[in-house]
Amino acid sequence: MKILADAHIPYLKGVIELFGEVEYLPGNEFSKEKIKDKDVLIVRTVTHFGKEILEGSSVKLICSATIGYDHIDTAYCDAHNIAWRTAPGCNANSVEQYVTASLLYIAQKQGCKLKDKTIGIVGVGNVGSRVEAACRKLGMKVLLNDPPREEREGKQKFVSLDTIKNEADIITLHVPLTKTGKYPTYHLVDFEFFRSLRKQPVIINSCRGAVVDNQAWGKAIYEHLISASVIDCWENEPNIDLDLLRKVDIATPHIAGYSADGKWTATKMTLENVNDYFKLGIDPIPFQKIPDPDQPIIDLQHVPPEEQLPTAVWHTYNPMKETEALKSNPEDFYRFRSNYPLRREYVAYTVVNADPTIAETLKMLGFNVNSFRNRKTL
């Protein structure tokens, strides 16, 4: 079996070789010529896989180590007996970590408390549900919008998009990118959306770039229709809108889901998908270990209680580092994304000397928390 794998997918090399003959290439170098004799493609979202690249190839299975699949022409694959698999939910905790870190930064910048704010979550699948849980733990009022789920489950827990536009102080997007069907999301947020907002909310996009019309976003900022902007997913990546980049508060190179934990889970699911599809019978698969963080202990002894929550979260991830780098060197978008130093999620960290009023929130978010105590007793 011949396998072509994206060279930037971690925890794959040294394991996938058990399955067949493997070649590695950067995702943006996949081509019709390179894939023509391959049985399996292991990919990310940087290349589109449709007729233009798949026609005449030997490809039997495409495994994407991502939650989304808008980079795969699923209709073409289904019509030509090419199976495709993704890794749903693999990075849900990581995106929640990104959103929480961003919310804490915006709250600090605006001088407000998150517990006094209402957040509207558009799209409540694996990722949106994790963001919902975190926001409730932070004491926020949460509004949920998900028309497909509402259709299946009823209206009890969901609100309309108009309600979110009228009541939310913050709107965060977690939908797949779709252009057809009953609920298309392409340019779901356009200038009319921005113009209908009542409260000048914060807008966060960490799902897919084209869910928001980026030109309209820039105009909305210019016309003061929103109070802050957080963008991880852009239209036309890696050639992003430089004017919009200059205007936003947090700007990152599509790395919200890039935790070591999430990437490990995606690779695990990918290896299982290949093993299952071809009935290889490799059991157990020798998955690699996730490295421990460099500084796994977060000591809050000398941190004022009101600063302990952001201090702990930003210890695990601070979006301003990527923001500064991307704004300084936007031409390096693809390099930043491909060589991103994978962060660890909360579960890899232990917090000590947290104030009792903060410790429970940290524990609920997923940190390991030791009881409040003086450093001398450690």
> What structural domains and CATH numbers belong to the chain?
2-90+259-277 (3.40.50.720), 92-251 (3.40.50.720), 297-377 (3.30.1370.170)
Instruction: For residue 375, name the pLDDT band (cuts at 50, 70, 90).
Output: very low
Nearest Cα to Cα of residue 117 among 87, 152, 141, 144: 141
Query: Tokens 């495994």, residue?
Result: 63
The chain-wide mean pLDDT, for the chain, equals: 96
Q: How far apart are CA 254 and CA 234, in angstroms?
A: 8
Nearest Cα to Cα of residue 138 among 169, 172, 180, 104: 104
Burial of 166 (0-12, 13-18, 19+ CB in 10 A): middle
Asked whether residue 114 carries a pLDDT value surpassing 60, the answer given is yes
Nearest Cα to Cα of residue 206 among 67, 75, 86: 67
Q: How far apart are CA 184 and CA 176, in angstroms?
A: 9
pLDDT digits (tens, 9 = 90+) for 324-348: 999 999 999 999 998 999 999 999 9
CB 97 within 8 A of CB 318: no
* Whole-number pLDDT of residue 372: 53
* Whole-number pLDDT of residue 376: 44
Nearest Cα to Cα of residue 143 among 123, 114, 126, 115: 123
Instruction: For residue 74, name the pLDDT band (cuts at 50, 70, 90).
Output: very high
Asked whether residue 378 carries a pLDDT value surpassing 60, the answer given is no
208 classed as catalytic: yes
The active-site residue out of 150, 167, 237, 272 is 237
Phi, psi of 299 (to 5 degrees): -100, 115
CB 248 within 8 A of CB 229: yes
Instruction: For residue 373, name the pLDDT band (cuts at 50, 70, 90).
Output: low
The active-site residue out of 187, 254, 337, 343 is 254
Q: How far apart are CA 147 and CA 158, in angstroms?
A: 8
- Work out the end-to-end distance of the chain between its first and last CA atoms, rounded to an integer number of angstroms: 54
- C-alpha distances (whole Å) from 106 to each of 49, 183, 334, 360 are 37, 30, 26, 23
Instruction: For residue 374, name the pLDDT band (cuts at 50, 70, 90).
Output: low
**Mean pLDDT over residues 305-328, rounded?**
97
Query: Tokens 């929480």, residue?
Result: 100
Please state whether the peptide bond connecting residue 238 to the residue before it is cis, i.e. omega within 30 degrees of 0.
yes
The active-site residue out of 44, 71, 187, 208 is 208
pLDDT digits (tens, 9 = 90+) for 14-34: 999 999 999 999 999 999 999
Instruction: For residue 377, name the pLDDT band (cuts at 50, 70, 90).
Output: very low
* Whole-number pLDDT of residue 263: 95
187 classed as catalytic: no
Which amino acid is residue 212, in one-letter code?
A: V
Instruction: For residue 46, name the pLDDT band (cuts at 50, 70, 90).
Output: confident
pLDDT digits (tens, 9 = 90+) for 360-372: 999 999 999 996 5
* Whole-number pLDDT of residue 68: 84
237 classed as catalytic: yes
pLDDT digits (tens, 9 = 90+) for 177-230: 999 999 999 999 999 999 999 999 999 999 999 999 999 999 999 999 999 999
Asked whether residue 8 carries a pLDDT value surpassing 90, the answer given is yes
**Mean pLDDT over residues 165-181, rounded?**
96
CB 96 within 8 A of CB 127: yes
Asked whether residue 44 carries a pLDDT value surpassing 70, the answer given is yes
- pTM over 0.85? The answer is yes
Instruction: Using DSSP, state whether 249 is helix, strand or coil.
Output: coil
Asked whether residue 137 carries a pLDDT value surpassing 50, the answer given is yes
Instruction: For residue 318, name the pLDDT band (cuts at 50, 70, 90).
Output: very high
Share above pLDDT 90 across residues of the chain, in percent, rounded to a whole number: 96
